[in-house]
Amino acid sequence: MSFVEWLVLLSTIFSVSFAWGTYLVHLYSTKNQPEKLKEDEERLIQLMGRVKTFVDSKLEILEQKMKEVNDLISEINDLYSKVLLDMSQLKEKNRQKTQENIIKEEKIILEEKNEIKKEPKTEKTMEEKIIELYNNGASEAEIAKKFGIGIGEVRLIIDLFLRSKGGQL
Protein backbone atom coordinates (compact mmCIF):
# COMPACT_ATOMS: atom_id res chain seq x y z
CA MET A 1 0.00 0.00 0.00
CA SER A 2 1.16 3.32 -0.88
CA PHE A 3 1.35 6.33 1.29
CA VAL A 4 -1.73 7.92 -0.26
CA GLU A 5 -3.76 4.78 0.29
CA TRP A 6 -2.71 4.74 3.94
CA LEU A 7 -3.70 8.36 4.23
CA VAL A 8 -7.14 7.70 2.73
CA LEU A 9 -7.64 4.70 5.04
CA LEU A 10 -6.64 6.67 8.14
CA SER A 11 -8.82 9.64 7.23
CA THR A 12 -11.79 7.32 6.68
CA ILE A 13 -11.24 5.65 10.06
CA PHE A 14 -10.88 9.05 11.70
CA SER A 15 -14.08 10.35 10.06
CA VAL A 16 -16.06 7.30 11.13
CA SER A 17 -14.69 7.60 14.70
CA PHE A 18 -15.58 11.29 14.81
CA ALA A 19 -19.10 10.59 13.57
CA TRP A 20 -19.55 7.87 16.22
CA GLY A 21 -18.28 10.21 18.93
CA THR A 22 -20.63 12.97 17.87
CA TYR A 23 -23.52 10.52 17.79
CA LEU A 24 -22.73 9.24 21.29
CA VAL A 25 -22.46 12.77 22.70
CA HIS A 26 -25.73 13.71 21.08
CA LEU A 27 -27.37 10.56 22.39
CA TYR A 28 -26.13 11.25 25.91
CA SER A 29 -27.26 14.88 25.85
CA THR A 30 -30.75 14.03 24.58
CA LYS A 31 -31.04 11.38 27.26
CA ASN A 32 -30.41 13.97 30.04
CA GLN A 33 -32.22 16.75 28.25
CA PRO A 34 -35.79 16.01 29.44
CA GLU A 35 -34.66 16.18 33.07
CA LYS A 36 -32.77 19.39 32.44
CA LEU A 37 -35.74 20.82 30.57
CA LYS A 38 -37.99 20.00 33.51
CA GLU A 39 -35.56 21.65 35.93
CA ASP A 40 -35.27 24.72 33.73
CA GLU A 41 -39.04 24.82 33.31
CA GLU A 42 -39.62 24.63 37.08
CA ARG A 43 -37.04 27.31 37.71
CA LEU A 44 -38.60 29.49 35.03
CA ILE A 45 -42.05 29.00 36.57
CA GLN A 46 -40.67 30.00 39.99
CA LEU A 47 -39.04 33.10 38.54
CA MET A 48 -42.22 34.01 36.70
CA GLY A 49 -44.17 33.63 39.96
CA ARG A 50 -41.73 35.94 41.75
CA VAL A 51 -41.88 38.48 38.94
CA LYS A 52 -45.69 38.32 38.94
CA THR A 53 -45.80 38.87 42.71
CA PHE A 54 -43.37 41.78 42.43
CA VAL A 55 -45.24 43.38 39.53
CA ASP A 56 -48.61 42.89 41.26
CA SER A 57 -47.37 44.61 44.42
CA LYS A 58 -45.98 47.50 42.38
CA LEU A 59 -49.24 47.77 40.43
CA GLU A 60 -51.21 47.90 43.68
CA ILE A 61 -48.97 50.67 44.98
CA LEU A 62 -49.30 52.51 41.69
CA GLU A 63 -53.10 52.19 41.78
CA GLN A 64 -53.15 53.53 45.36
CA LYS A 65 -50.98 56.48 44.36
CA MET A 66 -53.18 57.18 41.34
CA LYS A 67 -56.27 57.11 43.57
CA GLU A 68 -54.60 59.52 46.01
CA VAL A 69 -53.64 61.84 43.15
CA ASN A 70 -57.18 61.72 41.74
CA ASP A 71 -58.60 62.49 45.20
CA LEU A 72 -56.22 65.43 45.58
CA ILE A 73 -57.09 66.74 42.14
CA SER A 74 -60.77 66.49 42.97
CA GLU A 75 -60.22 68.33 46.25
CA ILE A 76 -58.19 71.03 44.50
CA ASN A 77 -60.92 71.47 41.90
CA ASP A 78 -63.53 71.87 44.64
CA LEU A 79 -61.39 74.45 46.44
CA TYR A 80 -60.69 76.28 43.20
CA SER A 81 -64.39 76.52 42.38
CA LYS A 82 -65.10 77.81 45.91
CA VAL A 83 -62.38 80.44 45.57
CA LEU A 84 -63.75 81.56 42.21
CA LEU A 85 -67.25 81.79 43.66
CA ASP A 86 -66.00 83.77 46.67
CA MET A 87 -64.03 86.09 44.41
CA SER A 88 -67.04 86.79 42.22
CA GLN A 89 -69.17 87.47 45.30
CA LEU A 90 -66.53 89.84 46.68
CA LYS A 91 -66.30 91.65 43.36
CA GLU A 92 -70.06 92.08 43.32
CA LYS A 93 -70.07 93.36 46.92
CA ASN A 94 -67.24 95.78 46.14
CA ARG A 95 -69.06 97.01 43.06
CA GLN A 96 -72.23 97.57 45.09
CA LYS A 97 -70.32 99.31 47.89
CA THR A 98 -68.54 101.49 45.36
CA GLN A 99 -71.85 102.48 43.82
CA GLU A 100 -73.31 103.16 47.27
CA ASN A 101 -70.28 105.26 48.22
CA ILE A 102 -70.52 107.24 44.99
CA ILE A 103 -74.21 107.89 45.63
CA LYS A 104 -73.48 108.94 49.24
CA GLU A 105 -70.67 111.25 48.14
CA GLU A 106 -72.90 112.81 45.49
CA LYS A 107 -75.62 113.38 48.10
CA ILE A 108 -73.10 114.94 50.50
CA ILE A 109 -71.77 117.21 47.76
CA LEU A 110 -75.31 118.25 46.80
CA GLU A 111 -76.17 118.91 50.45
CA GLU A 112 -73.02 120.99 50.89
CA LYS A 113 -73.81 122.98 47.75
CA ASN A 114 -77.36 123.56 48.98
CA GLU A 115 -76.09 124.66 52.40
CA ILE A 116 -73.59 127.00 50.80
CA LYS A 117 -76.34 128.52 48.67
CA LYS A 118 -78.68 128.86 51.65
CA GLU A 119 -76.21 130.33 54.12
CA PRO A 120 -74.91 133.76 53.31
CA LYS A 121 -71.24 134.22 53.83
CA THR A 122 -70.82 135.87 57.21
CA GLU A 123 -67.23 135.14 58.04
CA LYS A 124 -64.83 137.99 57.62
CA THR A 125 -61.36 137.60 56.25
CA MET A 126 -58.38 138.17 58.49
CA GLU A 127 -57.69 141.47 56.74
CA GLU A 128 -61.22 142.68 57.42
CA LYS A 129 -60.91 141.69 61.08
CA ILE A 130 -57.58 143.52 61.36
CA ILE A 131 -59.07 146.67 59.83
CA GLU A 132 -62.10 146.43 62.13
CA LEU A 133 -59.89 146.09 65.23
CA TYR A 134 -57.73 148.99 64.03
CA ASN A 135 -60.83 151.13 63.50
CA ASN A 136 -62.00 150.23 67.01
CA GLY A 137 -58.75 151.62 68.41
CA ALA A 138 -56.61 148.52 68.92
CA SER A 139 -52.87 149.04 68.56
CA GLU A 140 -50.81 147.29 65.89
CA ALA A 141 -49.00 145.27 68.59
CA GLU A 142 -52.30 144.06 70.11
CA ILE A 143 -53.62 143.06 66.68
CA ALA A 144 -50.39 141.21 65.80
CA LYS A 145 -50.49 139.38 69.11
CA LYS A 146 -54.13 138.38 68.67
CA PHE A 147 -53.59 136.88 65.19
CA GLY A 148 -50.12 135.51 65.88
CA ILE A 149 -48.49 137.50 63.08
CA GLY A 150 -45.77 140.12 62.98
CA ILE A 151 -46.36 143.84 63.51
CA GLY A 152 -44.93 144.47 60.03
CA GLU A 153 -47.68 142.34 58.48
CA VAL A 154 -50.34 144.24 60.41
CA ARG A 155 -48.89 147.59 59.24
CA LEU A 156 -48.74 146.34 55.64
CA ILE A 157 -52.40 145.26 55.69
CA ILE A 158 -53.50 148.56 57.21
CA ASP A 159 -51.40 150.60 54.73
CA LEU A 160 -52.74 148.64 51.75
CA PHE A 161 -56.29 149.12 52.95
CA LEU A 162 -55.74 152.83 53.44
CA ARG A 163 -54.28 153.19 49.95
CA SER A 164 -57.13 151.27 48.34
CA LYS A 165 -59.72 153.40 50.12
CA GLY A 166 -57.92 156.63 49.41
CA GLY A 167 -56.65 157.21 52.92
CA GLN A 168 -59.97 156.61 54.64
CA LEU A 169 -60.64 153.95 57.20
Per-residue confidence in pLDDT tens, the chain, 169 aa: 788 888 888 888 888 888 888 888 877 776 666 677 788 788 888 988 888 898 888 889 889 999 999 999 999 999 999 999 999 999 999 999 999 889 988 888 888 877 766 655 566 788 889 999 999 999 999 999 999 999 999 999 999 988 887 655 5
Q: Count, in order, helices (H) and strands (E) of the chain.
A: 4, 0
Whether 163 is covered by a domain: the verdict is yes
- pLDDT, residue 164, reads 83
- The pTM for the full model equals 0.37
How many domains is the chain partitioned into structurally? 1
**By CB neighbour count within 10 A (0-12 exposed, 13-18 middle, 19+ buried), where does 162 fall?**
middle
Give the C-alpha separation, 169 to 134, whole Å.
Answer: 9
Structural domain that includes position 140: 123-169
Distance CA 82, CA 86 (A): 6
Quick one: pLDDT at residue 21? 86
Residue 18 lies in a domain: no
Please count the CA atoms within 13 angstroms of the CA of 51 that sit on its side-chain side. 6
